[in-house]
Structure 1
Amino acid sequence: MTVPAPRARRRPSTLGRLLPLLLIGALLASVGLLLTTTWRQTTEDRDLAVRERLGVQYLSALGSVTDALVEAQTAAINGRPVPGEALTQAVEEAAAVDARIGVELLSQERWAGVRARLEALRGRSSADPESAYTAYSEVSDLLLALHRKVRESSGLFRDPAADSFFLQDSAGQELPEAVVAAGRLADLGTLVARRPTAEQPRGLMELTGLRVAALGPATDLVDNLRSAVDGSESTDLGANVLTPLDTYQRSVEALAAYSTPASGTGTVDPDQLSAAGLNTQRAARQLQPVILGELDALLVERIDGLDRDRWLTAGAGVVAALLLGWLAALQFSAGRRARRRAALAATHADSPDTSAAVDLWKPATGDPLGRQPVAGDARGLQPVAGDSRGLQPAGTARDPETAQWGAFDAAR
């Protein structure tokens, strides 16, 4: 029986050796792209939240300026000395904030214009209430425009979360507009009461239009804050906001009632309207820091969450790189072992002892016990001569070993 020699293992092609490494590289590139995109998006969201916090700081400073400006306007309209100390302090605080973050929020030019107009109001005489009302209204409009600019440049107006969006809209737009409009409404009621009788109808029409302008943002403010409380996951938001919000809402309702002309006389009571406007301003002054504080707390919580996401993304990238590197090292080691086995197989294949088939039926040369024949010994090479009975020919010396098995051979 012939057994074929073992076939040498075929060496893998270059593509076969590189394919696992290419797959690992493609997987590493895909994971790297995914993690890079996640990191970039998380970083952008974090940068937006940090920038929004700057906007909250600026709006807080502008809120103090707005309150002081409305108080100064009311004092000028009623012929009282203008409290310049409160307005000066508020302006200085806002200037410090602008000097610190105004470049990043692109507000320095607008603030410079507003500050120049505020400085001009300090030396203005209160002898003409009508002109004072117009001058203060123009500065208030510039101040409200600065509020809008800060909301836009800080990214507050495009906040992605529902609760923080409603809070920033309330603190950065609705509340300043409501405060300015409420102050104008109370001061206009005082001016209308001093005008001649012939100008009273026109004054009442102005008062009605300004009443709508004052109640509109106040109503939107209440709706926004209630929506923020209902849509927020924070348990502290409702408890902190609802109490000052209820106080503000009651003050706005009183302002609306006292600014409506009486059915019998068709006029308004300027003293009651002025008191209602003052109460509304006080309630708004209490509400604004609460709104901004809750908004800042939500932004801080968001920043902390985004920081955790970035650490998780970085950790996942490191783990993925280590794992894929380990797989690549295993594949490289397996390739080296395969190349060594292939080289060893090629060496054995080139050897003459293994290149030919082995015939198992071919009699072995030598002794049955495996001994090789000795030179000069004819017994291991020549058959034994004799007849069929195992007898030696005549004249030939009989070998003792052959004689021992002669009888057995003859019987066979």
Structure 2
Amino acid sequence: MTVPASRVRRRPRTPGRMLPLLLATALLLPVAFLVVRAHQYIDADREVLERERLGVEYLRALGPVTEALVDAQSAAVADRQPPRENLQQAVERAAVVDARIGGELGTSERWAGIRAKLEALPERSLAPEAAFSAYREVTDLLLALHGKVRETSGLIRDSGAASYFLQDGVGEEMPEATVAAGRLIDVAVLAEQRPATERMRTLSELATLRLAALQPANDLVNNLRAVVDSSASADLGPSVLTPFDAFQRAVEAMAIHAQPDNRTGTVDVVRLTSARDDAQRASTQLQPILLDEIDRLLVERIDQLDRDDLLTMAAGGVAGLLLVALAASGWLSRPRDITGSPQAPDTESDEPEQPVGTRWEPIRSTGDRALEPVGHGHDPDRWRPFDAAR
């Protein structure tokens, strides 16, 4: 007969229960680090793009100032009353923009100097040569401010192909072409008033200004072609292509009419002025459209960064929850730990199971071999009725 051993449970060991928690914590820390670093990188990229949008806003305000200043210069050189009203309105709008974002872009000091120069320009017409020199100094400062805005806003370092070509065209080539075309007209007007002894100097100056006007204009055309050919994200529809074609035709006309006559050494001022006016009207239409397109591309990239950030945080949260669930399941589970394997009772034996600690011995009586537990006492009289009946 087999006596089953008693089952004694042992308390689970604490190190065994702590192991899943420690492993989950060890995995959770690098996951949290990667999520935080990814969020920081995305946030830094977003700040760069937001700063570029400030540059787009500032360039939008400088465009009308440039055009109004060139018109005022041409009027002053032609000995006409400069149109001050358009220039003043453009300056006031640009001053509002500079007061709001100039500190962040680092342009406030330069803008203050340009505004002081603009306000110092006399309302009455100067002598043509003096007017040309005075306005030329201010336009040089204005072009330098365009470059400053592109540099401090980060537009000049933009990583997108389409937005880079667009900002290069609208922030550099377009204002340079506008200023140089205005100066080309002014020198052509001055050439008719200069003495014959200065003819060689005038022709050299005209050739330099012709190149200075045509090269950025051609660069702008090439930039827009590069955007159309190389980028599927830029949306340059008819609103851009129509003034773009007009600008290209006007530039080609300027290249023809800016050639001095071989006999007289002068240029056809009337036709050159007409071609320049056509180019400026086209650039006036192009500038806000191109700036809107740059801003749209930047907003698309910011939205993509926001989606990437959301996906990163969601993935990190899911990974964290899974690790926490793993740790909790390991902590709450109790492994079965017993001292020995129980042995199954002998089912073939008809004898009752002996309690632990009880010894069995036979009961000595006439004709009976039954077993009786030791210590219960033996009473012979108890079995006499049974023996008599038998």
When the two structures are superposed, what TM-score results if normalisation uses the length of structure 1? 0.80
1:99 aligns with 2:99: yes
Contact 2:246 2:278 in 1 (8 A): no
Evaluate the alpha carbon distance shift between residue 181 and residue 85 of structure 1 in structure 2; reply closer, same or farther with a 3 A threshold: same
Match of 1:151, as an amino acid?
A: R
CA distance in 1, matches of 2:29, 2:21: 12
Give the 3-state SS of the residue equivalent to 2:235 in structure 1.
helix
Instruction: With a CA cutoff of 8 Å and minimum separation of 6, indicate the structure with the bigger relative contact order.
Output: 2
CA distance in 2, matches of 1:178, 1:28: 58
- 1:122 is displaced (CA, Å) by 3.8
Question: 1:285/1:25 Cα in 2 relative to 1: closer, same or farther (>3 Å)?
Answer: same
Post-superposition offset of 1:275: 2.1
> Superposition RMSD on alpha carbons, in Å?
3.2
SS at match of 1:236: coil
CA, structure 1 residues 241+372, in 2 after alignment: closer, same or farther (shift >3 Å)?
A: same
Identity over the aligned pairs, expressed in percent?
A: 54
Give the CA deviation at 1:237: 2.2
Partner of 1:28: 28
Determine if the alignment matches structure 1 residue 132 to structure 2 residue 140: no
Q: Does the C-alpha gap of structure 1 residues 284 and 330 become closer, same or farther in structure 2, counting only changes over 3 Å?
A: same
Structure 2 CA distance, aligned partners of 1:323 and 1:100? Answer: 47
How far the C-alpha of 1:140 sits from its partner, in A, is: 0.6
Q: Partner of 1:98: helix, strand, or coil?
A: helix
**Aligned match of 2:192:** 193
Cα distance, 1:9–1:155 mapped onto 2, change above 3 Å: farther
Cα–Cα, structure 1 residues 9 and 179, in superposed 2: closer, same or farther, change >3 Å? farther
Q: Give the 3-state SS of the residue equivalent to 2:121 in structure 1.
A: helix
Q: How far did residue 356 of structure 1 move?
A: 12
- Cα distance, 1:358–1:240 mapped onto 2, change above 3 Å: closer
Letter in 2 for 1:230: D
Give the equivalent residue in structure 2 for 1:62.
62
Residue of structure 1 in register with 2:319 after alignment: 320
Contact 2:253 2:275 in 1 (8 A): yes
Of the two, which has the highest radius of gyration? 1
Query: Could you list the per-position Cα deviations for residues 180-222 of structure 1 after superposition, in whole angstroms to 9, with x for gaps in the alignment?
Result: 1111111111111221112112201111011111111111111
Tell me, yes or no, if structure 1 residue 268 matches structure 2 residue 278: no
What CA distance in whole angstroms lies between the structure 2 residues aligned with 1:228 and 1:12?
70
- Which residues in structure 2 correspond to 1:50-89 (within 5 Å)? 50-89=50-89
The answer to whether the aligner puts 1:375 opposite 2:374 as a matched pair is: no
The alpha-carbon distance between structure 1 residues 370 and 142, as it changes in their structure 2 partners (threshold 3 A), is: farther
The alpha carbon displacement at 1:229 in A equals 2.1
Corresponding position of 1:176: 175
Cα distance in 2 between the residues matched to 1:356 and 1:204: 115
Residues 158/9 of structure 1: CA separation in 2 closer, same or farther (3 Å cut): farther
For structure 2, the residue ranges without an aligned partner over 5 or more in a row are 355-359, 363-368, 381-385
TM-score by structure 2 length? 0.85
Partner of 2:49: 49
For the residues of structure 1 that align with 2:35 and 2:53, how far apart are their CA atoms? Answer: 27
Aligned residues: 370
Q: CA deviation at 1:43?
A: 1.2
Write the distance in 2 (CA, Å) between the matches of 1:173 and 1:369: 119
Distance in 2 of aligned mates of 1:50 and 1:140: 28
Does the 8 Å CA contact 1:193/1:200 hold for their aligned counterparts?
no
CA contact (8 A) 1:39 1:313 kept: yes
Given that 1:186 and 1:274 are in contact with CA atoms closer than 8 Å, whether structure 2 keeps it comes out as: yes
Question: Which residues in structure 2 correspond to 1:211-360 (within 5 Å)?
Answer: 211-234=210-233, 236-334=235-333, 337-338=334-335, 341-342=336-337, 345=338, 349=339
CA-to-partner distance for each residue in 1:46-99, whole Å, 9 max, x for gaps? 112211111111101111100000000000010111000000000000000111
Given residue 192 of structure 1, which amino acid in structure 2 is its aligned partner? Answer: A
